[in-house]
Structure 1
Amino acid sequence: MRYPLTALLAVAVCAVMAGASSFATITDWLHDLDEQAQDQLGFTAGVPVGSTVWRLLTRLDDTLLGNVLAGWLRARTPAEATTPRRYRTVIAIDGKTLRGARLGDGRQVHLLSALDTATGIVLAQVTVDTKSNEITSFAPLLDAVERVLGTLAGVLFIADALHTQTGHADEVAARRAHLLVQVKANRPTLFKQLKRLPWAQIPAGDRTRDRGHGRRETRTVKAVTLHTPGGIAFSHAQQAIRITRTRIVAGKTSRETAYLTVSLPAGHATARDLQTWIRRHWHIENRLHHVRDVTFREDLHQARTGNGPAVIATLRNTAIGWHRTNGATNIARATRRANRQPHDLIAAVTSSYPTTQ
């Protein structure tokens, strides 16, 4: 029997939004629906068995699926009534290994994702070549993000120290975008240059204080425009940044210092802006990867066939993005609510779901 592709995709999306964490539970969710709900999804002549759902999903192009679903989420996300004058799209980049998933030869699957930190939508995700690492996947990820947004002009990408690469800075600049990266010992010359800047003579640009869970933390940001001939040993860098984090826990004080560079000049990236943007990079770990692990039990899912591991991760990204754009702060609670109200969920999804096959 043949089934509509849009119906199969719709049930996969809805089931994961309702908490399904594997291909088997996607099928279970579909089979547990009443006839009216199955009709809503487009299954008017019976529902597929688990092997049919599994075969389709594991054969999908995961990057294309991610682009389609990210575009769909963005299209249905309400635009802000007023856009702040200094608003800038900030995209966090980070990788995650699917610990339970394996390829045919036993190697683990590693995915590199780009998260819009304002909306909580994963704009793109690419599978890292098992014979390489995240560095070679950076440009393909930018390509995928650009397909969703249309242009990268003015966008700020934030990445960890692994991506403090001259080639990355050139790739981003060529697309008229900007890059904010941390600098560690993997770039020893650059790290020494930043560390030796006269930080004691540079006034603090921004300082924040937080309390919670028996901890007090102060974060002080200093930023300086790079006037030295040739700047520093990193392409397109406009400012050097130092962040000092001071924590007091149970009466004990600890201090940590981090150095970063950004390709935006001071007029477009104040110390307060930098403080906000740098903290947003944690969104991809705390609000995406952690949720996939805890709520959807991703590391326990032993997907091994075809593009299955990346496809199911893309569906989880979509579910999290959907709930975030609907105002949810607790994704586990949001999935339980969606599971209790399948008719409402299906109606909301299918009323704006792509009809192309």
Structure 2
Amino acid sequence: MIDADVAPLPLAQVLASIPDPRRKRGVRYPLAEVLAVVVCAVVAGSRSFTMIAEWAVHASRQRPLTASGRVPSLATIHRLCTLMDAEALDAALTGWVRDRCRSRAVAIDGKEARGAKNADGSRVFLMAAFDHDTGCVIGQEHVGAKTNEIPHFATLLDQLGDITGMIVTADALHTLGQQAEALHTRGAHYVFTVKANQRGLRNRIASQTWAKLAPQHTLREKGHGRTSTWQITVQRAQSWIGFPHARQTIRLTRDRIDHRTGDMTREQVYAITSLSPDQTTPSELAALIRGHWGIENRLHWVRDVTYDEDRSQIRTGNAPRVMAALRNLAISIHRFAGATNIAHATRAATREPEIARHLTGL
């Protein structure tokens, strides 16, 4: 959680803390200086090292980007992003973002950068902690090729510092007793989706007396030629549900009408939470569940579409994770500035380089 009495560090100071992988002899540009150029370029929507170098040339025509007035070359940018300590960079950047958030609810979810590959040819898979309110990534963990998200859950929580009172949402992969215990021991709460991978738990929750309960909250949405009606029903979790620290079970029903075809569909989602009725309301639980689903269009979709991440051909050394960290940072910077359309915001910064400099404070 955030200490309101501690002023967040400027981004330039954070970049200066990243260890430089180069030998001191012959260094033309300080690492922080090159990183500042790269960050601004990614804020402006640059998707590759070539685009970053081209944006730097464009921006330098208005005002010098470096103390020397020279522009880092494509080779310099590529080499530094390949050699840089990606874990240190990720930790520093997510820490800078975290210091600007007051996270009450955080979604944990993973994403594979399908186009990228590690040096050994293995996949690049990253698990992020995503702030519901701001839409920013406040922590990120690299998931190795020979493992999965589950053992990295607690490690990612530890990146967030003191999470007492925080609500963590996660999909069905993490609906496990060990994850519930990891949150409980840290003073946090969970809202977990329950699906077929936990068939016994799902069957026990589904067997409760839902039919006798009226929905406690209803929400209707219209858009894209459809009307969706969400109804949430909540009841206390009985001891025979058999899940650690469970206080309530949840059924979320979505009825959708497609006005173009007339088709009607119904979907039911079950969930479980350690929050008691005194700590939350049905409408707040509905917002938490739907807020978790929002990570797909507020983060994954932006990285895939605006930054074309799934088709990225950046594959050398640490560069894939470095670029993923920079994309997360750029999205967060735009969110802090109030942008609701990241693609529009990046195009504006491409045309006017001073916008990127202003947003980053570099």
TM over 0.5: yes
Unaligned runs of 5+ in 2: 1-25
Alignment deviations for residues 83-114 of structure 1 (CA, whole Å, 9 cap, x no partner) = xxxxx711111111111111233322111111
Between the aligned partners of 1:51 and 1:242, the Cα distance in structure 2 is 54
TM-score by length of 2: 0.87
Q: 1:172 to 1:63 in 2, by over 3 A?
A: farther
Between the aligned partners of 1:64 and 1:263, the Cα distance in structure 2 is 33
Counterparts in 2 of 1:24-43, with a 5 A limit?
Answer: 24-34=50-60, 37-38=63-64, 41-43=65-67
Between the aligned partners of 2:100 and 2:216, the Cα distance in structure 1 is 38
2:107 to 67, 92, 107: 92
* Secondary structure of the corresponding residue to residue 339 of structure 2: coil
Conserved in 2, the CA contact under 8 Å of 1:18 and 1:335? yes
1:36 Cα deviation from its structure 2 partner: 5.7
2:234 to 219, 223, 231: 223
Structure 1 residue 168 corresponds to structure 2 residue 179:
yes
Between the aligned partners of 2:343 and 2:42, the Cα distance in structure 1 is 11
* Secondary structure of the corresponding residue to residue 11 of structure 1: helix
Conserved in 1, the CA contact under 8 Å of 2:334 and 2:359? no
Conserved in 2, the CA contact under 8 Å of 1:181 and 1:261? yes
* Secondary structure of the corresponding residue to residue 146 of structure 2: coil
* Secondary structure of the corresponding residue to residue 223 of structure 1: strand
Counterparts in 2 of 1:1-357, with a 5 A limit?
Answer: 1-2=26-27, 3-34=29-60, 37-38=63-64, 41-44=65-68, 46-75=70-99, 89-146=104-161, 151-226=162-237, 228=238, 230-249=239-258, 250-350=261-361
1:73 Cα deviation from its structure 2 partner: 3.4
Alignment deviations for residues 110-155 of structure 1 (CA, whole Å, 9 cap, x no partner) = 1111111111210011111110111122112112222xxxx10111
| Aligned amino acid, residue 80 of structure 2 | L
1:168 Cα deviation from its structure 2 partner: 0.8
Between the aligned partners of 2:69 and 2:257, the Cα distance in structure 1 is 63
1:165 Cα deviation from its structure 2 partner: 1.2
1:244 Cα deviation from its structure 2 partner: 0.8
TM-score by length of 1: 0.88
Q: 1:217 to 1:49 in 2, by over 3 A?
A: same
Q: 1:75 to 1:182 in 2, by over 3 A?
A: closer
**Following TM superposition, where does structure 1 have runs of at least 4 consecutive aligned residues deviating by more than 6 angstroms?**
none
Conserved in 2, the CA contact under 8 Å of 1:4 and 1:42? no
Conserved in 2, the CA contact under 8 Å of 1:63 and 1:124? no
Alignment deviations for residues 225-275 of structure 1 (CA, whole Å, 9 cap, x no partner) = 12x3x3522111111000111111132221111110011101112101011
* Secondary structure of the corresponding residue to residue 44 of structure 1: coil
Higher mean C-alpha deviation, range 288-297 or range 208-217: 208-217
Between the aligned partners of 1:42 and 1:153, the Cα distance in structure 2 is 42
Between the aligned partners of 1:25 and 1:108, the Cα distance in structure 2 is 24
Between the aligned partners of 2:177 and 2:286, the Cα distance in structure 1 is 24
Percent of paired sites with the same residue: 44
Unaligned runs of 5+ in 1: 80-87, 352-357
| Aligned amino acid, residue 285 of structure 2 | L
| Aligned amino acid, residue 73 of structure 1 | V
Q: 1:36 to 1:246 in 2, by over 3 A?
A: closer
Between the aligned partners of 1:169 and 1:338, the Cα distance in structure 2 is 42
Where does residue 85 of structure 1 map in the other structure? none
CA RMSD of aligned residues (A): 1.8
* Secondary structure of the corresponding residue to residue 266 of structure 1: coil
Between the aligned partners of 2:67 and 2:304, the Cα distance in structure 1 is 31
Conserved in 1, the CA contact under 8 Å of 2:60 and 2:71? no
Between the aligned partners of 2:256 and 2:272, the Cα distance in structure 1 is 24
Between the aligned partners of 1:275 and 1:210, the Cα distance in structure 2 is 14
Conserved in 2, the CA contact under 8 Å of 1:70 and 1:124? yes
* Secondary structure of the corresponding residue to residue 71 of structure 2: coil
Q: State the number of aligned residues.
A: 334
Alignment deviations for residues 205-240 of structure 1 (CA, whole Å, 9 cap, x no partner) = 1111111122111111011112x3x35221111110
